[in-house]
Structure 1
């Protein structure tokens, strides 16, 4: 994953699924209302074809297997050198594949409702082990790259906590939308890292690409002043990205309009409460008897 595409492709995947979850979380809340809302770790694909219902989980599983294969095949099997970081990256995707498989199996089982918390717990383990691998990474990222990874740990930690909270508080819309937004933010930050660290024209002033130079960082800086300036820029990028995702989620919450089922049942098109069928029949009978 220590390449431009190694961050861009997973970043696009996280961004897509985070946006998909954010939209569906808001839609579900506005359609069902506060009392009937229940958060979930995945959303069925809207299609009349039944076997495409789990398309989100199928794509997650396929992407995870492909990413694992790329990481493992990159390891030189015919040499004696060992690259543990490849296996660390592959292990991150392994947990994602396990979650997708179990989520499909639980949904197809007769006791899917009682096992929903199991799926939530497995979703939490995906981000728990991602945080673990990032914190104890064998590559030991230093310098500017290490600072970007340190900021990434904040996002992953927030996603992990929100996923745990959503499992325990499935009725909370705020927890559910924070979890979805944090996944979106994680994807956006992966993309920012790819461009900032591996796109030569976007490397901060006073820094240069250090690949192949024996340094455990994608970018090295000429002096301490250049390093501080580059890290300050990354902090600004992080704050701007949080502001962007927060504004986007707030906009979606305010602008997306679906009629709540609770109010649809109570209100007529004119805004008045229509009489129940039994009441209408009673009035009709009274009129006839008179």
Structure 2
């Protein structure tokens, strides 16, 4: 087989693996966040401002159903699966120690710790006494994600680095809203912002997968550079040929950031408007 054909095959495999590596976790996060938005708004509508209490997970069906803990089961299973894929260096399936892969696996490890601990306590205790502890564990997931993104061993530079910097802004909001929800469990805004930020993380991750790893979607004047070698190399990076091209690509990233957030807020508005206005028991505070 010709050398150039082998090189092209390596590039296609790398692109496919990296794109899938963004689409799968991004889709999972987006769906999880949408699930939380719908359930948070629904709970606030049913219970009213005086009786609303935030949740870090929502029963799939009635609390007495065997499927009630489906969300936590899925998070634990997905986290373990993702850890295995990172350790095995998908799509190569080898045990080569790569810092970049183990950093990603560590993010999923903290997610598994949160979901696993919450699942066990909910099944055994069935009490709200562990709400604050689960909240701290949820906040630690975002805290570790932010830490590992900021001090990533992969050399994210140029446009790719800018996309990752914008991702850190979203994760920071998730961290703050998780802490706020833990401290103020009756705060509907904190709970809603947390759910919105999770959707935003997922959609932004998907957006990065397409815009940074699909050659046809790379901004004009920029090209994908693939790294070969050890952990010090970039998995892939979008390099812009001129300052004008780089400035234009970053401006497009800013627009994508705002458009995605706008789309999420439109969805939240539709969900809120789906529930008609209702009267609450005496003592409830009317809120505009």
For Structure 1 versus Structure 2, the TM-score category normalised by the shorter chain is: 0.7 to 0.9
Q: Which has the larger radius of gyration?
A: 1
Report how many residues are paired.
262
1:165 pairs with 2:184: no
In 1, the alpha carbon distance for the partners of 2:150 and 2:143 equals: 11
Equivalent pair of 1:84/1:138 in contact (CA under 8 Å): yes
1:223 matched residue in structure 2: 242
2:226 matched residue in structure 1: 211
Range with greater deviation from structure 2 (10-19 or 248-257)? 248-257
Structure 2 residues without counterparts, runs of 5 or longer = 1-13, 283-288
1:253 matched residue in structure 2: 272
Q: TM-score, normalised by structure 2?
A: 0.85
1:270 matched residue in structure 2: none
1:285 matched residue in structure 2: none
1:196 matched residue in structure 2: 211
Structure 1 residues without counterparts, runs of 5 or longer = 264-290
Q: Write out per-residue CA displacement over residues 231-254 of structure 1, whole angstroms, 9 at most, x where no aligned residue.
A: 111111111111111222122112
Q: TM-score, normalised by structure 1?
A: 0.84
In 2, the alpha carbon distance for the partners of 1:78 and 1:91 equals: 18
Range with greater deviation from structure 2 (239-248 or 253-262)? 253-262
* 3-state secondary structure, aligned to 2:226: coil
Aligned CA RMSD, in angstroms, stands at 2.2
In 2, the alpha carbon distance for the partners of 1:43 and 1:259 equals: 23
What is the CA distance between 1:52 and its match in structure 2? 1.3
1:241 pairs with 2:260: yes
* 3-state secondary structure, aligned to 1:140: coil
Q: Per the alignment, do residues 17 and 260 of structure 1 end up closer, same or farther by CA in structure 2, a change over 3 Å counting?
A: farther
In 1, the alpha carbon distance for the partners of 2:71 and 2:281 equals: 28
Equivalent pair of 1:209/1:218 in contact (CA under 8 Å): yes
Equivalent pair of 1:88/1:133 in contact (CA under 8 Å): yes
In 2, the alpha carbon distance for the partners of 1:10 and 1:150 equals: 18
1:184 matched residue in structure 2: 199
In 2, the alpha carbon distance for the partners of 1:15 and 1:91 equals: 20
